[in-house]
Structure 1
């Protein structure tokens, strides 16, 4: 079994479009959540959303290159490009059978809507345009990035609801650990448009705290009233540790363990046992005990049932001596398909920049979260061992153990 190094990260999110900007936002507790007036006009119960600023797709790729790509695929390419640059890897280094590409993504709603509207407008399928078929596939991220980056190894998109990004990172790490790939560019992507959120808004799962957008996402807080949708893209370069060290790459951290499970119960209500099994598997895979984890980056999305279920699962693993815990969705909102990968990127940023971000908007614990060591103020020391959780509809769970240089 090979050790798996993190040698590059890239991010496009509502907190910023580079690790430095995102790190500053995490340290300061700066929210990326706003009220979208278009959603209000469209009849959304909640017009709240994360919003990506200062990202221009035309500055990343040409119009011809973007023809087959929705915005979130362009964002995924930008994040992957930045991660590769940080890793010190060029085109010749990755154009081979030993370099793979795995992203988590579970929908591409906007492209499907656009092609139907084009047909209605133009009255003939031949006039829709050749790019729409590639834009409307769930695998649009990996098929486009594979073409642009010229990788020749593993290439697929993993769909598992809000654990998609977490599983993509875990599966990438497994391929390297078992010697099937030397490096994998992995991550997650999520479209941020209102069209993709219509039915989700109709479930009544979103916060309606529209008078104070920055205070709307309140993971673990007793007054939480729902999640806030968000999106963007997160990317990592994972490499076989010995090969990365031999070429003189900076080792940002290590994916030390990966665990997964499914609840086997309700399609939308998380269980009290599923995430526990994923965390236990990740710790076992890393050959670590619960006491060795000093920070837990929680999935907690700010829903009453979801946060409570995760708390119960955490307590089942760690008892009352939990590690420091924060959910960064208080600042980012719930980045859905990309969230599991984004948490790994955010935690790596914190390790590099020497702090642990606080759980913004946590003012009053409930009976369960009172038993967690919630981070309420930014801690000016880095995490050294972290566990990142992600969970999704259908009861799918992913947990990742990260180890950072001391």
Structure 2
């Protein structure tokens, strides 16, 4: 069976700003940070850190109370985003009795932490509160495949249902693998994306122990994440969910669906070098694999949404990889790291940044790296850093990078929607 073009017919996002995807993208274009100062009273001592949350998300309103109560927050965020994408794609929630097409439709989801919070609550109940048992729902709340399982059940998807866990590349890989299934003809429709919730006490303390979290208080938190800046101080964790409906191009056209963009390539690699230290050559291989898979040359790419976490070691390595792959073109290659505004969603990072990249091509505009103007690290020079939102462009193709601990790399290549 020949390769199929892969259309994006639905986009869903639980935004930290509280609005829809259009509102989300316009706020990014304006350089508006969603980072705020998080404080909690969880034992053994309070948390106090910059964080990106989704305070306007009401799980019961989005999903209904019975379903929401069966889910940990990462599943709630992911399923709500999936429902949004499915609705935008114009697909009914459940197939008719005679509709067997969904037997091959599936869901591939990304998460790094899954329902870790459920297990943390159970441990606190046992060891801090002195209880003798945990909630009987702990297993189904905490399993990493809970989100894709709920999505598949609720939408009647009878094909593959699985989760990818590869740290910060989890949902980038999930989207790439879903893309491959549609392109090959194995599935006509795939729902894909990712969700994560990072504010559990143990998770924040673990990242603190690595000394890669940016400090901040109520006043300084909005500018705490400063990718590529000389004074960058580390990453900012966040929570959220983002989803895409991928569909065979001819199938989308036949049913009159709106096409918001196209996935044209996917590249992946392993640094095979160090668990937490990124390696330029591993990233170079993933970037070149994505370009080769898409049949694109470096000069065809008009924007790169960088992984850009604002860590001391990671940012220069990524820029060095871009310089190597793009050569003389690199100096004119627009690059931005939107984690500066929406934070690092760990396993959901690739999904939210895929959404940003698709919207950039659809809206013909590039969001900036916030908090960078005038303070660029010399080690991160050599690309066209986007310091302010750019509008009215002519963008045809873009890349979204996801580079993870463990050396797992994923690069997605996207094309603009038909005009």
Q: TM-score of the superposition, structure 1-length normalised? A: 0.95
Aligned partners of 1:256 and 1:221: how far apart in 2?
31
Work out whether 1:55 is the aligned partner of 2:61: no
In structure 2, the partner of 1:397 is 409
Instruction: State yes or no: 1:140 paired with 2:151.
Output: no
Deviation at 1:143, TM superposition (A): 1.6
Q: In structure 2, how many angstroms separate the alpha carbons of the residues matched to 1:46 and 1:116? A: 22
Q: Tell me, which stretches of 5 or more residues in structure 1 are unaligned?
A: none
Q: How far off its partner does 1:353 sit?
A: 3.1
Distance in 1 (CA, whole Å) between partners of 2:123 and 2:199 is: 17
**Distance of 1:247 and 1:239 partners within structure 2:** 11
Matched, 1:381 2:392: yes
Q: Which residue does the alignment assign to 1:66?
A: 68
Among 223, 227, 241, the alignment partner of 1:215 is: 223
Distance change in 2, residues 1:41/1:213 (3 Å)? farther
Instruction: Indicate the larger mover: 38-47 or 393-402.
Output: 38-47
Please name the residue that 2:342 is paired with.
Answer: 332
User: How big is the shift at 1:36?
Assistant: 1.1
* C-alpha separation in 1, matches of 2:367 and 2:131: 52
Match of 2:168 among 162, 165, 180: 162
Q: Structure 1 residues 223 and 131, CA, compared in 2 at 3 Å: closer, same or farther?
A: same
Alignment match, 1:291:
299
Deviation of 1:349 after TM superposition, in Å, equals 2.2
Instruction: Give 1:342-357 correspondences, 5 Å limit.
Output: 342-357=352-367
State whether structure 2 residue 373 is matched by structure 1 residue 371.
Answer: no
Matched, 1:229 2:263: no
Alpha-carbon spacing, 1:234–1:123, altered in 2? closer, same or farther (3 Å) = same
What is the Cα deviation at residue 242 of structure 1? 1.1
Q: Which residue of the partner structure matches residue 256 of structure 1? A: 264
Tell me by how many angstroms 1:111 deviates. 0.5
SS state of the match for residue 362, structure 1?
coil
* Deviation at residue 347 of structure 1 after TM alignment: 1.7
Bigger mean CA offset, 169-178 vs 109-118: 109-118
Question: For the Cα contact (< 8 Å) 1:226–1:303, is it kept in 2?
Answer: yes
Query: What SS does the corresponding residue of 2:177 show, helix, strand or coil?
Result: helix
Per-residue Cα deviation, 1:184-226 (whole angstroms, up to 9, x for no partner): 0000111132423221111110111434111111111111111
Deviation, structure 1 residue 248:
0.8
Q: How many angstroms does 1:123 deviate by?
A: 3.8
Partner of 1:199: 206
In the TM superposition, 1:104-123 aligns within 5 A as: 104-107=110-113, 108-119=115-126, 121=129, 123=131
What's the offset of the Cα at 1:402?
0.2
Note if contact 2:264-2:414 (Cα within 8 Å) is conserved in structure 1: yes
DSSP-derived class of the 2:348 partner: helix
Alpha-carbon offset, residue 166 of structure 1: 0.3
More displaced 10-residue stretch of structure 1: 346-355 or 81-90: 346-355
Asked if the contact 1:39/1:47 (under 8 Å) is kept, the reply is no
8 Å Cα contact 1:40/1:47 also seen in 2: no
Check if 1:89 corresponds to 2:91: yes
Aligned residues: 404
d(CA) in 1 for partners of 2:380 and 2:131? 56
1: CA distance, partners of 2:204 / 2:185: 40
